[in-house]
Amino acid sequence: MSPASRVGVIGIGGLGHLALQFARAFGAEVTAFSTSPAKEEEALALGAHRFVHPRDSKALKAVEGSQDLILSTINAAQDWNMYVAALRPHGTLCLVGVPPAPVPVAAFPLIAGVRSVCGSNTGGPGRIAEMLDVAARHRVGAQTESFRMAEANQRSDGSGRTMCGIELCW
């Protein structure tokens, strides 16, 4: 990633919050993708230059062929071909969230556009140390919320889904 990079982040939650901040810290032009319009203000405050709702065909057309990297932080099924279409030649769609089903992607846009799809789970100790150094220098931080464990099942992320039990999963 370089200051000339255009980076998209799918999902404006825990990992997405960090991805937006890191991409901005590296000087990239950052696009946030989320199906939750309520996340727009938050995404912009965390470093996104623009916000795209994936069901807004006009907004999607505006970013078509523009992204060098799109990082998916979500664990939900998507129209993955739509994100592949948003990639520039030699662009990459990287999954760090695990969708619940196989990721169907048409081969021709990958081949003709010299685009790729990959996955990543973590970096080695050297990369983690580098990431922590960048986070400290650029004030990248996790968004947290504190509450009593007894309240965990009453909390919601605003989507109508309730966080679950001891794992505090969304």
Tens digit of each residue's pLDDT (9 = 90 or more) over 39-79: 999 999 999 999 999 999 999 999 999 999 999 999 999 99
Look at the chain and report how many structural domains it folds into. 1
- Please report whether residue 167 resides in a domain: no
- Please report whether residue 124 resides in a domain: yes
Whole-number Å distance between alpha carbons of 83 and 33: 10
Per the CB < 8 A criterion, the answer to whether 73 and 97 are in contact is: yes
Residues in Cβ contact with 43 at an 8 Å cutoff, skipping those fewer than 6 apart? 12, 20, 32, 34, 51
Token pair recorded at residue 114: 């010299």
pLDDT at residue 51, rounded to an integer: 97
Whole-number Å distance between alpha carbons of 122 and 96: 9
Roughly how many angstroms between the first and final C-alpha of the chain, as a whole number? 29
pLDDT at residue 8, rounded to an integer: 97
Which one, of 16, 4, 13, lies nearest residue 94 by Cα?
A: 16
CATH at residue 76:
3.40.50.720
pLDDT tens per residue, range 125-147: 888 888 888 888 888 888 777 77
Average pLDDT, the chain: 86
Token pair recorded at residue 94: 């990287």
Q: Which whole number is the average pLDDT over 78-90?
A: 96
Per the CB < 8 A criterion, the answer to whether 131 and 145 are in contact is: no
- Please report whether residue 72 resides in a domain: yes
- Please report whether residue 54 resides in a domain: yes
pLDDT at residue 71, rounded to an integer: 97
Which one, of 28, 27, 20, 81, lies nearest residue 54 by Cα?
A: 81
Percentage of residues in the chain having pLDDT higher than 70: 89
Which residues share a beta bridge with 72? 10, 95
Report whether pLDDT(164) > 80. Answer: no
- Please report whether residue 65 resides in a domain: yes
- Please report whether residue 33 resides in a domain: yes
Instruction: State which residues form the domain around 74.
Output: 6-141
- Please report whether residue 22 resides in a domain: yes
Q: How many Cα atoms occupy the beta-carbon half-sphere of 127 within 13 Å?
A: 4
Which residue in this structure is represented by tokens 């001891």? 166
pLDDT at residue 1, rounded to an integer: 67
